Amino acid sequence: SAVISQKPSRDICQRGTSLTIQCQVDSQVTMMFWYRQQPGQSLTLIATANQGSEATYESGFVIDKFPISRPNLTFSTLTVSNMSPEDSSIYLCSVGQSSTDTQYFGPGTRLTVL
Amino acid sequence: AQTVTQSQPEMSVQEAETVTLSCTYDTSENNYYLFWYKQPPSRQMILVIRQEAYKQQNATENRFSVNFQKAAKSFSLKISDSQLGDTAMYFCAFMKWGTGANNLFFGTGTRLTVIP
């Protein structure tokens, strides 16, 4: 399986600021996803990062709050904009080679908003 | 919409013993995939096992095996010879088959503690 890294691994941010999280894969992948895991909760899909086009967002998530870029087949970023304490979560990226492929996850980014 | 239910928030097992984690799901799809992921304190989500719905044979990976009952929409995970490193949150997940954005639907997780 691909080796997936995320930066930063954790951060503490002030209310109203923005943070960009990077997801880097060591090989080209077709599918990249961003998930949120709120404290003590399960994972919820934020969006599918599409290479060369706008991301596909799930219900309850909007581009203005969570802009996503995917400039190539090995890299994606998720920005958490205008943060509030409710955004404190672990953010994970996952990758897959096809729509029927198993998804493999990055190590996650633990975000705390004060 | 797909839903995944894990009815056991917490479980414990003695080292070297066997434990079974439960998972049920609801879907109108006929073709899909089911997964078990583990998340140790390091928070890295690690794939444990995968099952294709069209396969009748239950998937097995070393000490991990599943009991897949498609008609009952049940997908339990059995861990044999439990080890201390098995201590983690275990998430059951569903993914539908087909093209498009195939996101995973996760259950709420079961926290497993292996007792020395």
Q: Which of B42, B103, B107 sits opposite A33 (nearest CB)?
A: B103
Tell me the mean pLDDT in the region B70-98.
94
DSSP characters for B66-106?
A: EEEETTTTEEEEEE-S--GGG-EEEEEEEEE-SSS----EE
In angstroms, how far is CA B98 from the centroid of its own chain?
A: 21
pLDDT for B98 beyond 80: no
Q: Is A59 at the interface with chain B, CB within 8 A?
A: no
Q: Cα–Cα distance between A7 and A20 in angstroms, integer?
A: 9
Q: Cα–Cα distance between B36 and B8 in angstroms, integer?
A: 14
Q: What is the pLDDT along chain A (114 residues), one digit of tens a residue?
A: 789 999 999 999 999 999 999 999 999 998 899 999 999 889 999 999 988 888 999 999 999 999 999 999 999 999 999 999 999 999 999 998 776 678 999 999 999 999
pLDDT at A19: 98
What domains are there in chain B, each with its CATH number? 3-115 (2.60.40.10)
Which CATH number belongs to the domain containing residue A59 in this structure?
2.60.40.10
Query: Within a domain: residue A79?
Result: yes
Determine the residue of chain A that is closest to B42 in CA distance.
Answer: A107
Q: Is A99 at the interface with chain B, CB within 8 A?
A: yes
Chain A residues with CB-CB distance to B42 below 8 A: 107
Q: Which of B5, B37, B42, B43 to mutate to test the interface with A (most CBs of A within 10 A)?
A: B43
Q: How far, in Å, are A27, A65, A98, B45, B115 from residue A4 at the CA level?
A: 9, 24, 16, 11, 31
pLDDT at A66: 97
A67: containing domain: 30-96
Number of domains chain A contains: 1
Of the ranges A46-55, B7-16, B102-111, the best mean pLDDT one:
B7-16
Determine the residue of chain A that is closest to B47 in CA distance.
Answer: A104
Query: Within a domain: residue A17?
Result: no
Q: Which two tokens stand for residue A20?
A: 């960009």
Task: Render pLDDT for B46-79 as a digit per residue (tens, 0 to 9).
Answer: 999 999 999 989 999 999 999 999 999 999 999 9
Query: Within a domain: residue A34?
Result: yes
Query: Within a domain: residue A39?
Result: yes
Tell me the mean pLDDT in the region B2-9.
93
> By mean pLDDT, which of A10-14, B15-19, B99-103 is the weakest?
B99-103
pLDDT at A30: 87
CB contact under 8 A, A43 and B104: yes
Query: Within a domain: residue A54?
Result: yes
pLDDT at B42: 80
CB contact under 8 A, A100 and B104: no
